[in-house]
Amino acid sequence: MKDKNIGFIGLGNVGKKIANNLIKNGYNLYINDLNQKSSTKLIQNGAIWCQSIDNLINNVSVFITCLPSPKSVKKVLSDSLPLITKGHLWIEMSTTDEEDMKSLAKLIINKNAEVIEAPISGGQHRAESGNISVLVGGNRDSFNRAFPILSCIGHNILHCGEIGKASTLKVVTNYLASINLLAIGEALMVCKKYGIDLKTAYQGIKISSGNSFVHETESQVILNGSYDVGFTMDLVCKDLGLFEKLTKKFQIPAKISNLIFSIFQNGRKMYGDRALSTSIVKILEEECKENLRAKGFPAYLEDNEIKKNGKETII
């Protein structure tokens, strides 16, 4: 194990699950977050709390960031930069702005250190099991160095090319998931109004051409009524804003994305920043005076598959 000491900054719903998988795989994990309470379970499992980012950086050869916004990423890197040396590798796992990522990567490279972007996709239930997918941008040598660490975190690991491409692809996938979520709400409402049992509707969609990852996961917690996917309105609006920035950058007349963005912005205004993203379906339920509920669906998602070995997805 070349990089035994790993730093982890950002212990949100997904971050703390990723961090725990590193502890399980024998790494010495140094952690930091604005909310120290989020570290309690990780410390019980063997993580080492660092009062400052300085303390964390000085104890590790690799540090990982998993933060809620590009602004947060820039702040952490700014605080870290004076202490970064030739031996360091920064792994950025947030969903962030591709232009910011390129700019910050240059700062790391100018210090003769290494950097890759490695946003994850697949939901917090797969982040917990270690079966999540990882999209990676950066040079091949840095990818190879990071691979043993990424293998503890995820199953399908795709090298997308240089810095910026993985961040862009992650924003694209989140945009598509947001469209699918809104479409699922409307589809289930048609079934409800028609009188189709919603459990039957769920299974019918699942075995048909209308199926998707979002349907198999998020539809379940909508039908349960918990809406619990661990992803919030402020985050989905941030991601849709990043997609909109890309469409403007390339002068794409993206009519669908503009509509989707406005719908989620309205949902954020109605329910608040920290409302669950799936609660966007509540707007439709309220307008139709119906609820989309069915028995037999879980309140939260679990990945019951055992941890699969990390593998590089070959194109």
Domain of 99: which CATH number?
A: 3.40.50.720
Based on the fold, state whether residues 257 and 111 are members of the same structural domain: no
Based on the fold, state whether residues 113 and 179 are members of the same structural domain: no
Based on the fold, state whether residues 44 and 128 are members of the same structural domain: yes
Domain with 251 in it: 168-288
Q: 3-class DSSP state for residue 22?
A: helix
Based on the fold, state whether residues 24 and 54 are members of the same structural domain: yes
User: Is there a domain that residue 104 lies in?
Assistant: yes
CA R_g for the chain: 20
Digit-coded pLDDT (tens) for 99-144? 999 999 999 999 999 999 999 999 999 999 999 999 999 999 999 9
Contacts 24+ apart (CB under 8 A), 157-163: 157/133, 157/310, 157/311, 157/312, 157/313, 158/133, 158/134, 158/312, 158/313, 158/315, 159/312, 160/135, 160/136, 161/137, 162/137, 162/138, 163/101, 163/102, 163/105, 163/115, 163/116, 163/117, 163/137, 163/138
Q: Are 128 and 155 in contact (CB under 8 A)?
A: no
Digit-coded pLDDT (tens) for 47-84? 999 999 999 999 999 999 999 999 999 999 999 999 99
- Sign, CA torsion 77/78/82/83: negative
The whole-angstrom separation of Cα 73 and Cα 60 is 18
| 24 token code pair | 């399980």
Based on the fold, state whether residues 158 and 186 are members of the same structural domain: no
Say what the pLDDT of residue 204 is: 98
Distances (CA, A) of 245 to 28, 248, 253, 257: 38, 5, 12, 11
| 61 token code pair | 């050869």
| Chain centre distance of CA 199 | 28
Based on the fold, state whether residues 24 and 153 are members of the same structural domain: yes
User: Is there a domain that residue 240 lies in?
Assistant: yes
Report the CATH number at residue 261: 1.10.1040.10
Based on the fold, state whether residues 78 and 154 are members of the same structural domain: yes
User: Is there a domain that residue 299 lies in?
Assistant: no
Number of domains in the chain: 2
Sequence-ordered strand ranges (E) for 62-153: 62-65, 89-92, 114-117, 120-121, 132-137
Other CB atoms within a 10 A radius of the CB of residue 80 amount to 21
Based on the fold, state whether residues 63 and 91 are members of the same structural domain: yes
Based on the fold, state whether residues 220 and 77 are members of the same structural domain: no
Based on the fold, state whether residues 100 and 220 are members of the same structural domain: no
Tokens 């570290």 correspond to 39
The whole-angstrom separation of Cα 248 and Cα 41 is 43
User: Is there a domain that residue 20 lies in?
Assistant: yes
The whole-angstrom separation of Cα 128 and Cα 283 is 30
* Angle 191-267-276 from CA coordinates, rounded to 5°: 80
Based on the fold, state whether residues 238 and 120 are members of the same structural domain: no
Q: Are 164 and 55 in contact (CB under 8 A)?
A: no
Q: What average pLDDT does the chain have?
A: 97
Say what the pLDDT of residue 1 is: 59
Say what the pLDDT of residue 315 is: 86
- Average pLDDT by stretches of 10, the chain with 315 residues: 92 96 98 95 98 97 97 95 96 96 97 98 96 98 98 98 98 98 98 98 98 98 97 97 98 97 98 97 98 97 95 93
Based on the fold, state whether residues 146 and 97 are members of the same structural domain: yes
User: Is there a domain that residue 294 lies in?
Assistant: no
